[in-house]
Chains A and B, each alone.
Chain A
Amino acid sequence: MKTSISYIFVIATLMVTTGCQQQLSEAGSNNEDSLVISWPQDIGLLDPHGYGENQMFAQNLVYESLVQHDEEGDIKPHLAESWEISDDGKTYTFFLREDVQFSDGSEFNAENAKKNFDAVIEAPEDHAWLELANQINRTEVIDSFTFEITLEDTYYPLLEELALVRPFRFLGEAGFNEDQQFKEPIGTGPWVLHEYRKDEEAVFHRNDHYWGEKPEMEELVVRVIPDGDARVMAFENGEIDMIYGSGLISLDAFDHLQNNENYETGTSPPQANRVMALNSNRGVTEDHLVRQALIHAFDAHSFIEDMLYETEEHATSLFPDDAPYQPDDLDPYEYDPLKAESLLEEAGWERRDDHEIREKDGQPLQLTFVFDANDEIQTILAEYMQSELRALGVDIVLSGVDNQSYLDAQKTGDFDIIYHETWGAQYDPHAMLSSMRVPSHADYQAQRGLADKDELDEKISQVLVETDEQQREEQYDDIIRTLHDEAIYVPISSPSTTGMYHNDIEGVRYSPIPYEFSLEHIRR
């Protein structure tokens, strides 16, 4: 019996040690021509038209779009050199660059553009969220490098939506299988997927066929590290060169790294806004005065300084100041506790001498704040809000739930205050406003109590198909101003992409678009 047990041990030990023969690539700070970053999830299959596990930043490394946003957020040519729009605004003719090759050396042309567009519009269920996918009526090859799109109606955000990371990007012919579905990643972008081990690492190489400015580094390694603290350890240990993205590490860790002279840090321009939405359709926050008081009671500057270590910019309205169509003369709600107090008094919420919490008709001033308890920033925000408002005699009940339950609360409107974010540079304001008309969104629920909600929705529907630029600007101004005056949102801050890297690294740039990582200029 003893010998058989020993055998089992020996065999098991052999199994265990031989199981790990796979060697991770020798990339790291010791390889001059390689940049190692990390990401919490696996990059996915890298299907340019796919969602789910496909990580947007990785899709953006490999695939390109017809047009792109420049640093100011304006549309500029990319794979399309220029375009013409018909008088009725329904036909777009794109003149493609003639020097573009896929990473396998094949040519990018109008045929390929049509094939990719058709692949997207032939799967309407997958892309229904994007209005453009529903609007495209017909695609046509005019000649080798001229490609035409005809729309159902005039749809002004067309170019904006073509610039998105997905789905309107281009997969090479050899990347499709027999059923014309995605087979393997072949793109025209600056990087090519060279090696891939699911949930371990993905190694990208410079695309030698790239038409634009080629990346400085030969190799880009993306290591999958799910835990933020483990990521910081690996970074300090020199196993990864750079932490790049939003919310990848805790703010304490960020503070710790920022104060270390061996590392450099930087941030992108603001990309979206964090806000709190106040429910105009429920309880105490039905009262406009109370909502105004809550906005005046929140000290965003101190929150950003003390809790976010000044990693984010202060937001003054629902959308970031540089978002298209954002009015620049909105009266900001300054932090003013005295004013907040007098507004609450005016609304009838009085503080009795012996009571800490304000009351009206015997009811205490109590609000439920719903947030995702797994999100560190949401949690500290809720706690901060609770302690701030306590001083004003407002009792905030914290309802920290898991992400799915948080989404549920958004849908049902079961909240007084809820944490919320705008959708980011390419979607604000048009896509975000569009969603405000849909009952499953926190915005709809929060705005539902407004007397003119129906009218507001009607205005949003109009602005999305308005063709006259002047008119459109006025309509947007009106909508955004109404939301601001109705005090539905408490603006907090604008998150951005943060970069932390060892100081032998140079050329780090930041895009105003989340998930568009500019890693091409990095060198050592």
Chain B
Amino acid sequence: MVALITRRILMLFPSLLFLSMFVFLLMHMIPGDPAQAYLTLSQIPPTDEAIAAARGELGLDLPLYEQYWNWLISALQLDFGTSFLTGERVLEEVLYYFPSTLQLSLAAFLFTITISVLIGIFSARYQQRLFDTFSRLFSVGGSAIPTFWLGFLLVYFFSYQLGWLPSGGRGGWTSLVLPMLTLSIPYIALFSRLLRTSLLEVSKASYVTYSRARGLREPSIFRRHILRHALLPLLTVSGVALGYLLAGTVIVESVFSWPGMGRYMVTAITNRDYPVIQFYIVFMAFIFLIVNMIVDLLQLWVDPRLRSKEGSPNV
């Protein structure tokens, strides 16, 4: 187990190195000039001299490999450069924006898991009954609805019509509710269905029948044998979902004026703010890899059968 964890951690480095190189190349291949973007945003007329001066200042006149090498050397010392746009250190800016995104994503994640498990269990238990039909409708609707539209719908009802919650901004806990719901609903729709199917499958498994034959009480069978196994696929997808939630808050942050990483990143992309884009992608990749690793380890912990395959790199 320890060897496995060490190997997984060591694997992070080449992945991140390769990724950062790839992103660097890709960014410089798309059309658009960060120097010009900077000038336009500053309402500075982009004369040739101004562009040349800005390029020199931003270090964009160096050959590409040199730019990457400089980036890599500083990145290894945890210096991810300064934003072309604001002149602030990228790391500091990320530390400013990341907590809001983390807060929103974690809230949405916890809410998603809690509600999905409840809906999943109820619709499995009351299979083909009214609740199940209702949850199926919800599931189809919830996963098909575009996020930004869902956001506006929620604002329209809860904020504009009923006046219960603020329509945007990051204030008290009330301002968290609507963006959290907007982020969660599509995932709840998906996860509750997934858990339902998985519960129904597991309850037909032979070891469940065997435990019944052994005369174990039904609630105990459900908790120890059915639910525990049925949660495994949910664990896998929820790990990925947390990553997606962290990286995918862009639209929600914009609709709810939530000052987070998503908006920071979108501004960076439209302005070709290379240091920010570069760091963001590597940083998000890092989080994805970490989350995936944790999910894998959790799986091993939950389902001891998997441990026998410990040596395989797919675990």
Contact = CB atoms under 8 A, between A and B. Distances in A.
Interface of A: 1, 9, 12-13, 15-17, 19-24, 41, 44, 51-54, 56, 125, 128-129, 197-201, 223-227, 229-230, 233-234, 236-237, 239, 374, 402-405, 407-408, 411, 423, 427, 431, 435, 438-441
A239 B167 contact: yes
B169 A200 contact: yes
B255 interface: yes
The interface residues of chain A, by DSSP majority, are classed as loop
Nearest to B155: A233
Given A125-B53, A223-B257, A20 B44 contact: no
Nearest to A236: B160
B47 A51 contact: no
Nearest to B56: A125
Contacts of B57: 125
Q: Which bracket fits the contact residues of B?
A: 35 or more
Interface in B151-202: 152, 155-156, 159-160, 163, 166-173, 175-176
Centre residue among A16, A41, A229, A441 by max chain B CB count within 10 A: A16
B206 interface: no
Contacts of A53: 41, 85-86
A119 to B, nearest CB: 16
Interface of B: 30-33, 36-51, 53, 57, 85-87, 96-97, 99-100, 103, 106-107, 110, 152, 155-156, 159-160, 163, 166-173, 175-176, 254-257, 259, 263, 267, 270, 272, 301-302
Nearest to B253: A226
B28 to A, nearest CB: 13
A20 B171 contact: yes
Contact of B46 (A23, A24, A440): A440
- Nearest first, the 5 closest Cβ-Cβ pairs linking A and B are A404-B32, A51-B42, A199-B259, A24-B171, A19-B103
A79 to B, nearest CB: 22
Contact of B254 (A54, A125, A227, A405): A227
Nearest to B113: A9
A226 B258 CA distance: 9
A405 B270 CA distance: 10
A408 B57 CA distance: 20
B51 A440 contact: yes
Contacts of A129: 39, 44-47, 50
Contacts of B270: 374, 402-404
B114 to A, nearest CB: 8
A201 B259 CA distance: 10
Contacts of A405: 31-32
A403 B175 CA distance: 33
Nearest to A19: B103
Contacts of A374: 270
B256 A230 contact: yes
7 contacts: A20-B176, A53-B85, A56-B43, A129-B46, A229-B152, A230-B255, A407-B32
A302 B143 CA distance: 42
B272 A224 contact: no
A155 to B, nearest CB: 16
Contact of B45 (A225, A233, A404, A431): A431
Given A125-B57, A239-B166, A404-B30, 19 more contacts: A15-B106, A21-B172, A24-B166, A128-B49, A199-B259, A200-B170, A226-B257, A233-B152, A233-B159, A233-B167, A233-B168, A234-B168, A239-B167, A239-B168, A239-B169, A404-B36, A407-B40, A407-B46, A408-B33
